[in-house]
Amino acid sequence: MNLCNIHTHTNAEHKGPGFTVHAGPGEHGGYKCNQTSELTEAELKQPDAGTASFKGIKPGDTIEVHWVHSSCDVSPGKGLGSCLSEKCSNPELRVETQVFLVVNDKNALNFADFAYAGNIQNGLHQPKSLPEGTGTPVVFAGSTTGPKYTQSKCSPLQVTWSVRPQCAKIDVNSLHKWAGDGNVFEEDHSHGIRQLVTAPELLSPIE
């Protein structure tokens, strides 16, 4: 499948073993990483204002990153519309997901390692890599997310989710650089969340 989009949400839209701290309801609610309250003063230091190119995040925040893949013959681009085409309007979609705890620490993970940067493997657009060491991904069927959807108003786009169950720390400076240098997804801010779906009739079995 082709990578078609990368974007982030501030706070986790899912709830997993490593991110159970409830951040409240609404677009800026969701779940935070369990280690949030344990960060050091250095990890929480704000980066220089002139380098803060990626809006909607700060050290101490949790973000959920989505690497969206499509069965369509498409190139990566802005928004989920880049995952469709006139010839392929109902694709299979897979979203690889990692929840990160944002810190000001250049020894933490670098987002550039997980970016796209024109990477093609076996003729398919792919991220340079995906996070490892955060547990075996939990795979289940669902739909696309974001604040305009709820469990009473679902997205029409079906997705196979692959969610890693543990958080990892990521350097805030690397996110700002990704935005500041420009990216094919035109991402310059972290998005709001869809609240956790809890209605039993809407939940699918975990594989």
Q: What confidence score (pLDDT) does residue 151 get? A: 74
Q: What confidence score (pLDDT) does residue 114 get? A: 98
Task: Please tell me the pTM assigned to this model.
Answer: 0.93
Burial per residue of 167-197, b for 16 or more beta-carbon CB atoms within 10 angstroms, e otherwise: bbbbbbbbbbbbbeeebbbebeebbbbbbeb
Residue 34 is encoded by which pair of tokens? 């369990």
Q: What confidence score (pLDDT) does residue 206 get? A: 72
Do the beta carbons of residue 73 and residue 109 sit within 8 Å? Answer: no
Give CA–CA dist 43/60, Å, rounded: 8
Do the beta carbons of residue 189 and residue 55 sit within 8 Å? Answer: yes
Give CA–CA dist 149/144, Å, rounded: 9
Q: What confidence score (pLDDT) does residue 62 get? A: 98
- Which positions ≥6 away from 101 have C-beta within 8 Å? 33, 35, 36, 39, 60, 61, 62, 167, 168, 169, 170
Do the beta carbons of residue 131 and residue 114 sit within 8 Å? Answer: yes
Q: Give the residues of the chain that fall short of pLDDT 70.
A: 207
Q: DSSP code of 105?
A: -
Alpha helices in 114-183 (DSSP H): 172-180
- Beta strands 2-10 and 21-24, pairing class: unpaired
Q: What confidence score (pLDDT) does residue 90 get? A: 87
- Which positions ≥6 away from 148 have C-beta within 8 Å? none
Q: What confidence score (pLDDT) does residue 207 get? A: 67
Q: What confidence score (pLDDT) does residue 159 get? A: 92
